[in-house]
């Protein structure tokens, strides 16, 4: 068996230890005589798995007691419509910060439900930075403020939390949740699709302040109402059981590693290795403003972009996969989530150095 270094933006690499544990438990989970995939979601075995996953998530993120954790489906994309449908209440508008492709999609969906005030945008410099918080123009009539705290495609990450006053701050953390500690109390809602940094595709995690549940407009679909899921411990219908189980193993792995502060240190080290090299050479460049660069998604270009396809082909031959940039930005992108070992980043930097030597 030979495993590659997988730099995919998502679904993305999982920790090898987690995959091995899932393999070992595949046919017979803890003496149950069956796989987690085959269990009733209402049986005591699976309920214990879901409860442990929630307890570990709460511990890792230090989630305050007045927040609910929901294990949903539909991806972060479903949250683009669930957020306005649940949080607008009697208001007619919401603030959105426009920092790239994912906030663009969130904005387009919100416009189906309300007036959207673009409180700040980085479109003027092709989404390569986070607009300084003191320049945001919040609408006092808005029900909430929505940010995309890590733009997976552009590689732009918030390294601070904006002050937005009384209204809830809502964050799409799909591609950096669990990469660093977060002060959950600063947010009304945090959501993330699991397949970037948490587990397999199919699970969407929502962390929501309890007072924001139950305010959906009348007529909302049952499945779109946070209240439905909060009242039934995310078991109103069949939850994505296997994805919850594997995500739970990832959470246990994070705890063994020392939690999110320890994970953050590793992520700083890994991303610095790559950025320091990118900044040291004129052969490559990274378009993102230094202070807003993502520790998870690192976009970069070869100045001579006619070398791109050769770079990608040779990288692949060296076991470095999925480095092609998103079609909307071109170039390359290395997604280096929690599960990417530091050896993967070192191997990538060595490869890039070698490629520069032979083509520079
Ligand atoms: C991947 C991603 C999404 C979309 O997630 P799905 O689970 O495919 O719906 C939304 N927002 C961000 C920031 C993402 O990285």
Convert the pLDDT of each residue in 28-60 to its tens digit.
Answer: 999 999 999 999 999 999 999 999 999 999 999
Residue nearest ligand 1's atom 14 by CA: 174
**Atom from ligand 1 closest to the CA of residue 74:** 9
What is the per-residue pLDDT for 56?
99
Q: Is the pLDDT of residue 1 over 90?
A: no
Nearest CA to 180 out of 108, 253, 112, 262 is that of 262
Mean pLDDT of 177-202: 98
**CA of 192 relative to ligand 1 center, distance in Å:** 7
> How sure is the predictor about 191, in pLDDT bands with cuts at 50, 70 and 90?
very high
What's the Cα-to-Cα distance from 61 to each of 53, 185, 196, rounded to whole Å?
A: 12, 10, 17
> How far is 43 from 300, CA to CA, in rounded Å?
48
- Counting residues of the chain whose pLDDT is more than 70, the rounded percentage is 100
Taking CA atoms, 143 is separated from 95, 114, 204, 286, 307, in Å, by 8, 10, 23, 36, 48
pLDDT of 102 over the 70 cut: yes
pLDDT at 328: 85
Q: Average of pLDDT values for 336-360?
A: 97
Confidence label for 217 from pLDDT (cuts 50, 70 and 90): confident
- The residue from 102, 104, 136, 225 that is catalytic is 102
Mean pLDDT of 270-286: 97
Question: Given this model, what pLDDT does residue 149 score?
Answer: 98
- Taking residues 54-70, report their average pLDDT: 98
Q: Binning pLDDT at 50, 70 and 90, where does residue 329 land?
A: confident
Give how far Cα 292 sits from Cα of 6, 23, 38, 149, 288, Å: 24, 38, 44, 10, 7
Atom of ligand 1 nearest to the CA of 201: 7
Model confidence band, residue 340 (pLDDT cutoffs 50, 70, 90): very high
What distances in angstroms separate CA 269 from CA 8, 304, 350, one per listed residue? 19, 28, 16
Q: Report the pLDDT value the prediction gives residue 152, as an integer from 0 to 100.
A: 98
Closest CA to 109 of 72, 135, 146: 146
Task: Give the separation between CA 225 and CA 206, rounded to whole angstroms.
Answer: 12
Residue of minimum CA distance from atom 1 in ligand 1: 174
| Residue 197 φ/ψ, nearest 5 degrees | -125, 5
pLDDT at 222 over 80: yes
Distance 340 CA to ligand 1 centre (A): 19
CB 167 within 8 A of CB 189: no
What count of other Cβ atoms lies within 10 Å of the Cβ of residue 99? Answer: 27
Q: Per DSSP, what are the bridge partners of residue 157? A: 150
For residues 212 and 68, what is the distance between their CA atoms, to the nearest angstrom?
10
Q: What is d(CA 48, CA 46) in angstroms, rounded to the nearest whole number?
A: 5
CA of 350 to the centre of ligand 1 (A): 30
Atom of ligand 1 nearest to the CA of 194: 7
What pLDDT does 132 receive?
Answer: 98
Q: What percent of the chain has pLDDT over 90?
A: 98
Averaged pLDDT of the chain: 97
DSSP character string of 121-163: E-GGGTT-SPPPGGG----TTEEEEEEESEETTTTEE-SS---
Q: Is 254 helix (H, G, I), strand (E, B) or coil?
A: helix
From residue 283, give the alpha-carbon distance in Å to each of 133, 271, 300, 313: 33, 19, 11, 18
* Residue 354 CB contacts under 8 Å (≥ 6 apart), including other chains: none
Task: Please say if 196 is a catalytic residue.
Answer: yes
| Atom nearest to 77 CA in ligand 1 | 9
CA 257–ligand 1 middle distance (angstroms)? 26
Mean pLDDT across the stretch 264-285? Answer: 98
Q: Which residue carries 């972060």 as its tokens?
A: 76
Q: Quote the DSSP letter at residue 86.
A: H
Q: Which of 175, 195, 203, 333 to mutate to test the pocket of ligand 1 (most atoms within 8 A of CB)?
A: 175
User: Catalytic: 172?
Assistant: yes
E strands within 149-199? 150-151, 156-157, 169-172, 189-193
| Ligand 1 shell residues, CB under 6 Å | 10, 75-77, 102, 148, 152, 172, 174-175, 193, 196
């Amino acid at each position: 068996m030979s495993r590659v270094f997988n730099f995919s933006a998502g679904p993305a690499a999982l920790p090898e230890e987690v995959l091995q544990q899932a393999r070992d438990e595949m046919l017979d989970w803890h003496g149950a005589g069956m796989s987690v995939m085959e269990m009733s979601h209402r049986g005591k075995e699976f309920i214990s798995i879901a409860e442990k996953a929630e307890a570990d998530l709460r511990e890792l993120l230090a989630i305050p007691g007045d927040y609910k954790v929901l294990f949903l489906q539909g991806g972060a994309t479903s949250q683009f419509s669930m957020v306005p449908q649940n949080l607008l209440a009697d208001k007619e508008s919401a603030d959105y910060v426009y920092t790239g492709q994912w906030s663009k999609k969130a904005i387009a969906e919100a416009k189906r439900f309300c007036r959207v005030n673009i409180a700040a945008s980085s479109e003027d410099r092709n989404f390569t930075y986070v607009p300084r918080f003191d320049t945001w123009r919040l609408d006092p009539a808005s029900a909430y403020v929505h940010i995309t705290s890590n733009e997976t495609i552009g590689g732009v990450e918030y390294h601070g939390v904006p002050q937005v006053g009384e209204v809830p701050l809502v964050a799409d953390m799909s591609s950096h949740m669990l990469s660093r500690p977060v002060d959950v109390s600063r947010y009304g809602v945090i959501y993330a699709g699991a397949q970037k940094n948490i587990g397999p595709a199919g699970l969407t995690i929502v962390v929501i302040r309890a007072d924001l549940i139950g305010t959906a407009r009348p007529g909302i679909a049952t499945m779109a109402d946070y209240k439905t899921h909060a009242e039934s411990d995310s078991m109103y219908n069949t939850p994505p059981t296997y994805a919850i189980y594997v995500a739970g193993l990832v959470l246990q792995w994070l705890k063994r590693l020392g939690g999110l502060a320890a994970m953050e240190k590793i992520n700083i080290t890994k991303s610095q290795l790559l950025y320091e090299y990118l900044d040291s050479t004129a052969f490559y460049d990274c378009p993102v403003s230094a202070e807003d660069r993502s520790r998870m998604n690192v976009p970069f270009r070869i100045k001579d972009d006619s070398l791109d396809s050769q770079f990608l082909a040779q990288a692949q031959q060296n076991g470095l996969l999925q480095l092609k940039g998103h079609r909307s930005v071109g170039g390359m992108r290395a997604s280096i989530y929690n599960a990417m070992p530091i050896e993967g980043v070192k191997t990538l930097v060595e490869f890039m150095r070698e490629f520069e030597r032979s083509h520079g």
